Structure 1
């Protein structure tokens, strides 16, 4: 990337010093991390997109307008980028130009004129209730800490629908055994309480009483779930646990922790839970995000109707 990015600092209150591309990206990264509080994955994706845009502009913000933005996105489309990728890059560009305008690096905000690309939202794969029961009804544990931990992870993921990152961040004190709830720190550092049932409580007790003490080390701290070396468990390990258990169960679709989250939400709605309650449990900021699970339930209902009704 050209590192001679010159920005016209002509806005009132700003200095006239030129900023190079690395400084622009560093400032934007700080904004995304500390003001927007976006996840590290999203920050990396946004910085990659902005770098690609600046490369298209030969490392300069001067002259950036709606025509340039549309041309850049058109090139992405012509290169065969997926609609989901284009939607993310559109959102990134709009965030970037708005930030640059506020800092006085752009006289106007061309991103305001950029339409929002809609990414398709395919229905998520989920387990049916019989499959979920089969997956969770594991053979009797030998008492091995890994077996106890893995069973507790699966039970809690299905019982609560928490995100994998939320599960990994749980501490021992986040579990309220008397009230059957866990305290979760979700996106945007928003805290919520999520209930769980008796099977998850029993699995957690077996892990915490008979498994965790064997693996705990000084470096373990308060982490609820541990790796074999005593450190806090990571998302990759949780994903392997879920994939491995599903692979052992014939006829189940391959999915990771997010698939169990989809499954939990779908089964809640099928059991009569209202959409607002499911939104709160999952920690969705918008009800629109939760509504996809109603589509899953309707799709299942339609399938059952076709199979069972004589005049379907």
Structure 2
């Protein structure tokens, strides 16, 4: 861990110092093996960078939602680092839980925001999707009467239309959108850059396309005028590139306004995109390409979700399913 924390130059933040104290504790008092200590350092350096990117500078500022967002983004790299396998995700979450437990016991923090955050269980980790009805309620609740409202509507429609990872969406530039010269040329497309900067082309649905066009014509020009000029597609109120954390905040606020009770995140829209495609009859390998999964095995976990739905419908509808 650097003396200056994840933020670079200047004095280390209280957050960086508190993480360094914990690493010294596990290294000296627990007598961990060098490889184990190195793993703790990697995990917590990544966690520190994530928290610093969210603007947190002290342990007491960390809330459960920060820990949850970090944990959910590990497998796809949406926390800002490289994507991790299930075992590495589990190890990282254990490291973070140990850190927060230590802070609570030592009185650094009054509460432990990671107490109920658990590592994924092999073979039981299913994506969380919400119904088409709930997705529609969320998308129709985004405001469109202001530049930021137009941006929010376009962003959320885009996430559900394309299944993009949040990191891919906020990393987009305007030139990554490909509009056809005429309707006869087919649907609009977007170039997404996933893990390892691997490029894939994904179509954009008509609802998302209309929301994007409204944002590009009536919303983005007003936002870009407040900044120094940027090619980024989705902009914040100061004219800069929108952050992952801002999208989480936007989605939560819109979902709350829509009175959707499920715990919704940008990943929820990605999961719902895949689940709803498979429920609609899409081939799993097509969904694999749309999601940017390297292996179809990763995509096939969504078929477990749709199988559960089929069982529920069968049990409710078939006259001799139960008895």
Q: Shorter chain as normaliser: what TM range?
A: 0.5 to 0.7
Indicate the residue corresponding to 1:204 in structure 2. Answer: 212
Who is 2:267 aligned against? 258
Q: Radius of gyration: which is bigger?
A: 1
1:126 is paired with a residue whose SS is coil
Judge conservation of contact 1:186–1:283 (CA < 8 Å) in 2: yes
- Structure 1 equivalent of residue 153 of structure 2: 151
Q: Whole-Å Cα distance in 2 between the matches of residues 243 and 91 of structure 1?
A: 28
> Partners of 2:90 and 2:193 in 1: how far apart?
28
2:242 aligned with 1:233? yes
Q: How big is the shift at 1:167?
A: 0.4
Task: Return the offset for 1:89.
Answer: 7.3
The aligned runs of 1:31-70 (5 Å cut-off) are none
Tell me if structure 1 keeps the 8 A contact 2:162–2:203.
yes
Instruction: Tell me which residue corresponds to 1:219.
Output: 228
Query: Deviations along 1:251-306, whole A, 9 cap, x unmatched?
Result: 44121000000000001111111111111111111211111110111111111112
Q: Specify the alignment match of 1:299 in structure 2.
A: 308
Structure 1 residues 286 and 121 mapped into 2: Cα distance closer, same or farther (>3 Å)? Answer: farther
**Contact 1:136/1:151 (<8 A) preserved:** yes
**Hey, what's the Cα distance between the residues in 2 that align with 1:309 and 1:292?**
26
The CA distance in 1 between the partners of 2:269 and 2:188, in whole Å, is 19
Partner of 1:98: none
The residue number in structure 1 matching 2:162 is 160
Deviation at 1:139, TM superposition (A): 7.1
Shift of 1:185: 0.9
State whether residues 170 and 225 of structure 1, in contact with CA within 8 Å, keep that contact through their aligned partners in structure 2.
yes
Asked if 1:180 corresponds to 2:182, the answer is no
Q: How many residues align?
A: 225
Any conservation in 2 of the 1:131–1:252 contact (CA below 8 Å)? no
- Shift in Å, 1:198: 0.8
Structure 1 position 146, deviation (Å):
1.2
5 Å-filtered alignment, 1:37-186, equals: 87-88=87-88, 119-138=122-141, 141-142=144-145, 144-178=146-180, 179-186=187-194
**CA distance, structure 2, for counterparts of residue 174 and residue 245 of structure 1:** 26
SS in 1 for 2:232: coil
2: CA distance between counterparts of 1:125 and 1:118? Answer: 14
Q: TM-score, normalised by structure 2?
A: 0.61
Structure 2 CA distance for aligned equivalents of residues 136 and 246 of structure 1? 9
Deviation at 1:239, TM superposition (A): 0.7
Instruction: Normalising by structure 1, report the TM-score.
Output: 0.63
> 8 Å contact 1:166–1:184 — kept in the other structure?
yes
TM-aligned CA distance change 1:60 to 1:252, over 3 Å: closer
**1:291 alignment partner, SS class:** helix
Deviation per CA, 1:174-221: give whole Å up to 9, x if none.
011214111111011111111111111110011111001001045341
Structure 2 distance, partners of 1:86, 1:160, is 25
1:191 counterpart = 2:191: no
Q: Where does residue 44 of structure 1 map in the other structure?
A: none
CA distance in 2, matches of 1:91, 1:190: 26
Q: Distance in 2 between matches of 1:90 and 1:253?
A: 24
Assess, with a 3 A threshold, how the Cα gap between structure 1 residues 60 and 273 changes in structure 2: closer, same or farther.
closer
CA contact (8 A) 1:181 1:193 kept: yes
